[in-house]
Every structure is written in C-alpha cells, then in structure tokens.
Amino acid sequence: MARSLLVLIAAIGFASFLAEAAAAQRGIPIPGARITFSNDPNGSNPKTSFSSSEFIYGRLDLGGKTVYDAFGLKNFGDAKFYYIYYHLKILAAGKEGWEHDWHNGKRATLITKEDSKRTYWNFDVLPDPAKLTTIIGTLEDDLDYYKFPAGMYLETRDVNSARSLFPQNGPYTIDITLFGNSYDDWGKSTGEFEKFPTASAKFTLQFSGTDGQTLVANSKKAYENAENAKNKQDMLHAMPSWWAKGATPPEPKLAPARLVPMIKGFIGQWNLTYIKHAIYPYTGPLWVIEKNSLGIPEYRMVSPYIYIIYSDPKDNSCQLGALYMREPYSGGGTYGAPYLGGIRDVQLIDCAVVK
C-alpha cells in the first residue's frame, strides 16, 4: 500500500511537472483567449477540419480583453502601429514537433490602432487572395516593410516549398500560436519567451496533391495583392517637391535629346511607356569611379539618380522610379558606351498630378 501511494504521489508530481513545462513552452496563455477556424473571414461556423481546396480563416476571441491589453501593446508607447507575432507550423499527422520552437523565427504581424481596440482579431490562415487582410513585415518597426501575406501562403510561394511541406496526400496538423513580447516594470522588452502572452490552437488539414498547383498559384496572387495594397497605400498624390529643381548637368550624354531615347529603349523591354524624367539635385562630381579590390576601375557612374515617370499598361497606373547611368571601364583611362540600370525606389503616383 505504501509503495502504491508513493508511486501515485510520484505520478501526480510528474504530471504537475509536465503541466508546468507545457505552460512554459507556450509562454503564458492569455486568460479567456480562444482561437477558432472557419471558412468565413468573420469567423462564423467554426470547425476543426478542412480540405486543402478550402479557404481558411482564424478568429482570436480574447474573453472581453482588448488586443491592446491582452498583448501589452501599451509598452509600444506612441507608436503609429502595433504588431504581434504569428507562428504557424505544418506537421504530418501524429507528429507534434518540437513544442519549444513556437517563439523562433518571429514574424511580426501588423496590428492597426483600430485592431488594438477590439476584443477579437480576425486573421488569415489560407485566405482567398482577393480578401487578404493579414500582413507581416520583415522589419518590425518599419511600416514600409509590411507587405507580405501571413499564414500558409508565406510557406508555399513555389512548388518546391509546397512539396516539402506536403510531401504526400493525407492529414496534416496546422499548429498556430499568436504571441506578444514580455516587458519589465519599466515597460522595456525582456525577450523572456516563457513569459510571452500567447494563444494557441490546432486544426486538421486534409491535403490532396491535386490542390498543389492551385495552392502555389494562390500564394503568388497573395504576395502580389499584398504588395499592390501597400503600393496603393503609399501612392504619391503630388509631384515630388524637388522635381521642379531637378539638375541640368553640362553633360551631353544627359541632354534630353540623347537621354530620352535611352530611357524609352530601356523601359520598353517591359512594355512601359515614358512620360517624363528629371535628374535628382546633386552636389560634388557628376561622375563617380567604382574600383575593385585591386584599385582598378570597373565602371564610372553618374552620381545622381535619373528619376522617371512612366505608365504601365497592365493596370494603367503611373509610377515613379529611379535609374542609374554607368559606363564600363575600357582600359587606358577610357570608358565605353553609357547604359542604364534599375528601376528602383518605385512608387505609384496619381496620374492626375503628373505635370
């Protein structure tokens, strides 16, 4: 009897240890938080099993707490936007994976000021690309880098990636954890993942190889739509303030009679139509020589960028972008014919304001 009692006590103690370890592995669960999944972006009719041909969305309900309070977003101070982290893991049926890796590979997911005031958050898992709403960034604190789709599309942009995640038909477990950071009493991030506020849930995905190509195609559309949405958000509604003060270097190669045909020829390979250009104001030398590690010139380059405004027939948009002009080194202190490169720093600009 005594031995049985000791075994029971030991078993209870071990079970308690496992429970504490599990809690630490997923941070500190947010009290009352619950994640559900459905085919509806608004979270109606939740279920726990899906096929790979379905669109899937998640909903985080916070039991009355706001997103702001549940994830400690007050510690962001007067930031223009917030973010939390979104971890998604795809596991073959019966495989739990390493439970401690949920906090690795942090993916900052945009939370707007409006989102933060709600007691729920609807998020994408495998959405209709045309209805994409959940965006991640590659730099946490810079809104310019928030232009990529969150969820499964992040992992299935090409066939090889998709095949590695879904090597065969059958059931897979989709394991999701949403989490914030941990902070000390001064409001500073501690990075102690065992104290991160978290919410986790899983569902079953029945994958069929016949859906694979559609999955990859939808992923590419999602990436494109996310980037287009960001570009439209950042669209210029006035000409750049410096445009009227554009430089006019005393260099025949930059004279409009020679430069405009070069620009038209360069952007014509993408069926883009030239509208106008300006050379960015500059100081110092017009040409800059770039040398290799041995000090031998490789090329010389016009120091200011050549900004162009052009139209894209794919969507009838007007866009602003920067080109560079270089000349390859020919030896003996001479350089070859100039050529253009780019286009970089591209922004949409309202066609109505192009003057």
Encode pLDDT of 72-109 as tens digits: 999 999 888 999 999 999 998 777 655 557 777 679 99
Amino acid at 31: P
User: Token digits for 7?
Assistant: 């075994």
Amino acid at 23: A
Q: Is the pTM of this model over 0.85?
A: no
pLDDT of residue 16: 41
Tally of CA atoms within 13 A in the half-sphere of 67 that contains its CB:
25
User: Token digits for 316?
Assistant: 């009838």
pLDDT digits (tens, 9 = 90+) for 189-247: 998 999 999 999 999 999 999 999 999 999 999 999 998 888 888 899 999 999 999 99
For residues 309 and 275, the answer to whether their CB atoms sit within 8 Å is yes
For residues 72 and 179, give the distance between their C-alpha atoms in angstroms, rounded to a whole number.
Answer: 10
Residue with tokens 């109606």: 44
For residues 57 and 174, the answer to whether their CB atoms sit within 8 Å is no
C-alpha pair distances (Å), 1 with each of 6, 8, 10, 11, 13 = 9, 10, 14, 15, 18
Q: What is the pLDDT along the chain (355 residues), one digit of tens a residue?
A: 455 544 443 444 444 444 444 444 689 999 999 999 999 999 999 999 999 999 999 999 999 999 999 999 999 998 889 999 999 999 987 776 555 577 776 799 999 999 999 999 999 999 999 999 999 998 898 888 899 999 999 889 899 999 999 999 999 999 999 999 999 999 999 989 999 999 999 999 999 999 999 999 999 999 999 988 888 888 999 999 999 999 999 999 999 999 999 999 999 999 999 999 999 999 999 999 999 999 999 999 999 999 999 999 988 899 999 999 999 999 999 999 999 999 998 999 999 999 8
For residues 257 and 323, give the distance between their C-alpha atoms in angstroms, rounded to a whole number.
Answer: 17
